[in-house]
Structure 1
Amino acid sequence: MPRLSRLAVVALVLAGAAPVAAQNYRDVTDTERSVRGYFGANLQVSFPQGEFDQFVGEGVGVGLHGTFLLGGSGHVGLRVAGSWIQYGRSSERIPFPGLPGISVDLTTSNDIYSFGVGPEFQAGSGALHVYGYGTAGFSNFRTSTQAEGSSNTNPFAESTNFSDWTWALAGGGGVMFQVAYGRTPVWIDGGLRYQGHGRTRYLREGSLDTDNNGNVVLSPIESETNMLVMHLGVQVGF
């Protein structure tokens, strides 16, 4: 093929590819502009702070949140968040009363359920975004025990031993890095928040026992219950 003919073919191919690339770019940017908010899910690790650190250790859990963007800038939104963190867990096997040779597993867990609402602010362009937020809401410190057979994982009885509700204030921030585009954009999300509760009554491992008559004896602790929480997860635009 003559050189001029080859150049003409290349020019035609590039001319045809340019509108397609431009359309793909418009699709991506249009999708970014059309994002009305984000839904996020993450894994969390909590680190007790101050007085709380004297009584409990680190906890693990999960978090969910939704951010609804306000106005046309895409930088201000309303954040609605919930989380579950378990800061203590213990198990023991005991004989089942009245049935010799039968044992049951008792598992006691210490959990914090939190919910909060507040403003969120975002900044950045391209694939990298940073954000900060503050929320106000409440937390439930709960200790519960469940019983299950020693050869299965389905509990046949469960009881809440102790529960205390308290207000919760949180402030935090993070970094989002976009890994998927198109109509369902996805970001990897990592961040940190400080969550304060003031003084709260709660149980920890060892705060629940039984006396000689089989009655449950509780030894609740009252202290500040502030904590630092790290998270890593994903956010999806909608």
Structure 2
Amino acid sequence: MTTKTVVLVHGALTDASVWRRVCPILQAEGHAVIAPALPLRTLDGDIAYLRRFLETLPGPLVVAGHSYAGSVLSAPDALTAAVRALVFVAAFQQDAGETAGELNGKFPGSLLGPGNLVVRDYPGGQEAYLRPEMFAPAYAADLEPAEARVLAAAQRPFDPAALSQSFDGTATWRTLPSWAVVATADRSIPTEAQRWMAGRAGSKVTEVDASHGVPLSQPDVVARVLVESTKDVTAPYSG
């Protein structure tokens, strides 16, 4: 049997540990799992980083993205020919010429507005954090309060400029089979935006009553979708 590797890509405000409850379920199913860390500085930089990372892995690959990572996965230059399927977990499914910020504002409901962010300087730019008291409402309302406080303290910040950047070429979800986990209690990426993007992409949709932190709050659901996606690994990426 062909060994499939599942690549789990985190988004903004959390790091690869957001997948810590999904990983053991996939590993118990016999899949190799790896979760890289994105720089979260520019969209182009994250695209280039993921591409270089994927070039080090043998195929076939299933690549999943949470939140902002969906924008990265959507870019044709981010993937290699070893990628066979994509899974968007409460994630952007961005098209050429679009921005994540534009998609996030397409429908009401997001708490990721400027008033709920703290922006700090770093060498070369700025990075954004959710205000600690807003982390649970915006990201992790269905997690234990103590866990939400830890996540708020250990945020992986992003450069907000990345949300206004786009890419050229045919979006990957137009040529690869895709799945989408839609979180119906999401206050980061509005649920209606997730539904709209998944419908446009023709993704196989699973809806779950969960916050934006769905990989942590509903790992069984996310893992089940990922396992399903590994069964469709025949068509190579044509981008």
TM-score, normalised with respect to structure 1: 0.24
Task: Specify which structure has the bigger relative contact order, considering alpha-carbon pairs within 8 angstroms and separated by 6 or more residues.
Answer: 2
Structure with the bigger percentage of helix: 2
Structure with the bigger percentage of strand: 1
TM-score, normalised with respect to structure 2: 0.24
Q: Mark the structure with the bigger radius of gyration.
A: 1
